[in-house]
Amino acid sequence: MSVVSSVCCYCGTGCGVLIESDARKITGVRGDPAHPANFGKLCTKGSTLALSAQASGRALYPELRADKASPRQRVSWDAALDHAAEQFAAIIREHGPDAVGFYISGQLLTEDYYVFNKLAKGLIGTNNVDTNSRLCMSSAVAGYKATLGADAPPGCYDDIDHAGTLFITGSNTAFAHPILFRRIEAARRANPEQKLIVVDPRRTDTAVEADLHLAILPGTDVALYHAMLNVMLWEELIDRDYIAAHTDGWEKLRETVREYTPEKVATICGVAAADIVQAARWFAAGPTLSMYCQGLNQSTCGVDKNATLINLHLATGNIGKPGAAPLSLTGQPNAMGGREVGGMAHLLSAHRDMANPEHRAEVARLWGVDSVPATPGKTAIELFEAVRKGEIKALWISCTNPAQSLPNQKLVQEALQAAEFVVVQEAFADTETGQFADLLLPAASWGESEGTMTNSERRISRMRAAVPPPGEARPDCRAVVEFAWKLGEQLGRDGKRLFPYTCPEDVFNEHRESTRGRDLDITGLSYAMLDAGPQQWPLPQGATTGKPRLYEDGVFPTGQGRAHFYNAPYRPTAELINAPFPLHLNTGRLRDQWHGMSRTGLVSRLYAHVEEPLLSMNSQDMQRRQLHDGELVRVKSRRGSLVIKVQASEELRGGQTFIPMHWGGRFMAGMGVNALTLDAFDPVSKQPELKHAAVQVEKVTLPYRRTIMRRGEGATLLRLAQPYIGRFDYASVGLTGRDNTVLVFETASVGPLPESLVQEMDAAFGLDDPLLTMNYQDARRGIWKKARVEDGMITGARLSGETAARDWLKNLIAEGASAMAVRNWLLAPVEQPPEGQVGRGRVVCNCLNVAAPDIVAAIAGGADLAALQGTLKCGTECGSCVPELKRMIATHRAVT
């Protein structure tokens, strides 16, 4: 067995991992105790990386289709890249460089990002290269630049320990950055005086831990920050010396915030004025560390939200010292690296400005090209709109799934259908976007490629390959470099001179040189130095270590050295609720799933936390609509609709609903939550308002329910379900089980299905062999059930017309129960399992496999959290389930 150190590929916390492997397979993953982002800890997603690495469902060979109507056929890499180069070159020759575009990803390595950026801006001469970071971080980028002068998070994770107040706003850190949240819990245990303020419309697991939770109405953040500044002014809590010495723009802002009294803003935000006052006092007392994420960024006034939050830091001098900083949490693992190399439509390498002719000339000189284009390229939403209109004819998509993740999916999918030529460079074969690929290029995935990544605290780590990629999959960087050589030949440009790299380190060294003299200067850094451990930027030549905190001297990279106060009025959400659309829809992350589930969706145990897509709704709103848990509703926005199960949630205030961002058209009927979201975007950052839409919710009557359950390999089973999902008004597909995987495919329709469809689906899921299936049919009532039994074990079932046994049956299939013991109940309409066959129930602690019934029984016996951790050990490994354990204690104590 060999062990290499690397980094987790999910969130921007950037946890270090140790990958164990034999010659060809990743066999285990554990936290790296030496990595300063996590000191050996991993959350549920990180700790199951080895399982997702072993899953099938990978894209293995290049595949090309002759025309849109034909299926793709396997081709060689040479043929694939030749074809891509010919297509791109022909379009560029006929329509110009802006007729092609690249849509890349915050999950790419920095070296991948660098070559994509140089390919578009240097070789082709278009700035049409944008990334899914546009959906994630671009408002944070613009907020930093507008106030502090550079896209540079000034704080670090150590500040969590030094802070007197933690101000978490627009972030469910407990779910989205779990290991940072563990660090927050530890800091609070060590310093009980530390205050935690959480601003979030929902009472999330993060908010439950707060000393003060401000459950503001969606989108009202700017009004809240202005009101806090108003209180600070009124109560003389501002740092006048700091303002005078290090900032400008204060007078104008002061005039603006005078209008935002706590009383007035209490009405706008829907919170008590006294709570605004309290938040202002604790913030000003400091040292204060703000942590924020998509709640601020994914908004049509995302830049205003970011920048007016930074106002509070500048006004109170809460920046540039231990425990005091505005620390934007990056959603993706390497959104920061992408920003460093300028891999977006409006950025240039090493934080240079596209609008600055000197900066453009510097980049052109570094790359050895005559010039780089001056006009910003199309950003994510604009890019797909341009594809839809035919302005962009060839699109290269790498490491991202826009047919799931972009808002207003109807338009996005129209665009992908309309494109002349779509290249999809992907590790996983079955993503929603894959179906639109004219050319599919198989990509190496996590644990299979080399490079670097930068986390939320500017810390660069080495990503290492532990095993070779499967099939003919290749690292993205290598594929892009070879494409650049071929495209260069086609266009009569010297691609080999521009892309002379033989390995990712060559690319890193060129990127390093581009940072010389810039705010993110890493000319003192090398792969050899990173081999000794990760480092934060800046790290200029001669330095031996990076810089944990920026702006300690109060000098900002704004030209004049002063930070700018940002003066913006509060603006409401782009879409307002009204009589036809009376409810707010909020979207967000779950703890155990990642983005569009192309990786986490293959690991059955990651469904234990939340097993299916649900609309969460306040219980009184449900009562008013006579809705009950588990019933189907149609959620409708101005763009589309979705049929989904509803569940009551006391996390939400009245008038608000929530759907997780993860489930797309591969896991549910319709196009997922982004059938509902809107593509309006911030005028500066161009980041869309994924966080809010106005919706209506109405009960749907689809009485004929069916559930197919089948044991097997996750990716294979999910693929079997794909042809059928879109044939139902309601369909949900997921996995369950721990040591064994079971597909659960649930549908609902107005009445029984046509016989031909029933037979086709039975055959697809292996439920058609009369020698292996038990059968129960009541034709008069439309009930028809089947169970597949192999070697005395239940391995599958189909319940049609009556599905009461669904939950216990799926558990027994996952646990490999004997068919003999449950034979008489197998096809009966009973919600409770037969005696002695209770099953383990839902697993709450994924790391140590502790199930809910055992936890509930221990709580009934008087156990508190310490006792649960002592006896059952739940919550003692990654700690992600601790908030849920606390909730269970509160609930079941109240009941007993």
Residues that bind ligand SF4 (CB under 6 A): 8, 10-11, 13-15, 38, 42-43, 45-46, 177-179
Distance (Å, whole) CA 294 – CA 279: 21
User: Closest separation between CB of residue 69 and ligand SF4, Å?
Assistant: 41
Q: Which is nearer to ligand SF4, 32 or 432 (CB)?
A: 32
User: Closest separation between CB of residue 179 and ligand SF4, Å?
Assistant: 4
Burial of 814: CB neighbours in 10 Å, binned 0-12, 13-18, 19+ = buried
User: Closest separation between CB of residue 534 and ligand SF4, Å?
Assistant: 13
116, 102 in Cβ contact below 8 A?
Answer: yes
**CA-based nearest residue to 744, from 782, 706, 788:** 706
468: which 2 tokens? 């070779």
213: which 2 tokens? 């939770």
Distance (Å, whole) CA 659 – CA 682: 22
Q: Which is nearer to ligand SF4, 43 or 232 (CB)?
A: 43
Q: Which is nearer to ligand SF4, 10 or 292 (CB)?
A: 10
User: Closest separation between CB of residue 38 and ligand SF4, Å?
Assistant: 6
Q: Which is nearer to ligand SF4, 120 or 843 (CB)?
A: 843
Burial of 22: CB neighbours in 10 Å, binned 0-12, 13-18, 19+ = exposed
**CA-based nearest residue to 342, from 540, 535, 151, 107:** 151
DSSP 8-state code for residue 365: H
User: Closest separation between CB of residue 49 and ligand SF4, Å?
Assistant: 8
Helix H, strand E, coil C: the string for 476-515 is: HHHHHHHHHHHHHHHHCCCHHHHCCCCCHHHHHHHHHHHC
User: Closest separation between CB of residue 529 and ligand SF4, Å?
Assistant: 22
User: Closest separation between CB of residue 566 and ligand SF4, Å?
Assistant: 30
Distance (Å, whole) CA 136 – CA 329: 10
Q: Which is nearer to ligand SF4, 7 or 487 (CB)?
A: 7
User: Closest separation between CB of residue 78 and ligand SF4, Å?
Assistant: 36
Q: Which residues contact 426 (CB under 8 A, 6 or more apart)?
A: 59, 397, 398, 399, 433, 434, 437, 440, 441, 442, 443, 598
User: Closest separation between CB of residue 502 and ligand SF4, Å?
Assistant: 30
User: Closest separation between CB of residue 15 and ligand SF4, Å?
Assistant: 3
Q: Which residues contact 56 (CB under 8 A, 6 or more apart)?
A: 713, 714, 715, 716
Q: Which is nearer to ligand SF4, 21 or 455 (CB)?
A: 455
Q: Which is nearer to ligand SF4, 31 or 442 (CB)?
A: 31
Distance (Å, whole) CA 633 – CA 302: 31
Q: Which residues contact 7 (CB under 8 A, 6 or more apart)?
A: 14, 15, 16, 17, 35, 333, 453, 455, 461, 462, 463
Give me the count of residues in the chain.
Answer: 896
Q: Which is nearer to ligand SF4, 512 or 589 (CB)?
A: 589
User: Closest separation between CB of residue 176 and ligand SF4, Å?
Assistant: 8
413, 404 in Cβ contact below 8 A?
Answer: no
Q: Which is nearer to ligand SF4, 182 or 705 (CB)?
A: 182
Q: Which is nearer to ligand SF4, 45 or 691 (CB)?
A: 45
User: Closest separation between CB of residue 458 and ligand SF4, Å?
Assistant: 15
Q: Which is nearer to ligand SF4, 17 or 296 (CB)?
A: 17
- Using CA atoms, how far residue 125 sits from 92, 258, 354, 390, 483, in Å, is 10, 48, 13, 19, 15
Q: Which is nearer to ligand SF4, 45 or 378 (CB)?
A: 45
Helix H, strand E, coil C: the string for 598-623 is: CCHHHCHHHHCCCCCCEEEECHHHHH
Q: Which is nearer to ligand SF4, 38 or 171 (CB)?
A: 38
Please report where in the chains the tokens 């008590």 appear, as a residue: 272
Residue 640 amino acid letter: G
Please report where in the chains the tokens 């299939």 appear, as a residue: 813
680, 575 in Cβ contact below 8 A?
Answer: yes
User: Closest separation between CB of residue 43 and ligand SF4, Å?
Assistant: 3
Residue 782 amino acid letter: G
Measured at CB, which residue is nearest to ligand SF4? 46
Main-chain dihedrals φ then ψ at residue 292, nearest 5 degrees: -150, 160
Distance (Å, whole) CA 141 – CA 685: 8
3-class DSSP assignment, residue 842: coil
Please report where in the chains the tokens 């009556």 appear, as a residue: 802
Give me the sign of the Cα torsion angle 317, 320, 324, 326.
positive
User: Closest separation between CB of residue 17 and ligand SF4, Å?
Assistant: 7
User: Closest separation between CB of residue 651 and ligand SF4, Å?
Assistant: 21
- Using CA atoms, how far residue 759 sits from 572, 649, 705, 780, in Å, is 52, 39, 16, 19
Q: Which is nearer to ligand SF4, 45 or 599 (CB)?
A: 45
Distance of CA 15 to the CA centre of its chain: 16
Residue 287 amino acid letter: P
Strands 100-104 and 741-749: unpaired
Q: Which is nearer to ligand SF4, 15 or 522 (CB)?
A: 15
Q: Which is nearer to ligand SF4, 15 or 731 (CB)?
A: 15
556, 562 in Cβ contact below 8 A?
Answer: yes
Q: Which is nearer to ligand SF4, 8 or 227 (CB)?
A: 8
Q: Which is nearer to ligand SF4, 13 or 117 (CB)?
A: 13
Burial of 786: CB neighbours in 10 Å, binned 0-12, 13-18, 19+ = buried
User: Closest separation between CB of residue 606 and ligand SF4, Å?
Assistant: 11
User: Closest separation between CB of residue 525 and ligand SF4, Å?
Assistant: 21
Distance (Å, whole) CA 140 – CA 151: 8
User: Closest separation between CB of residue 13 and ligand SF4, Å?
Assistant: 4
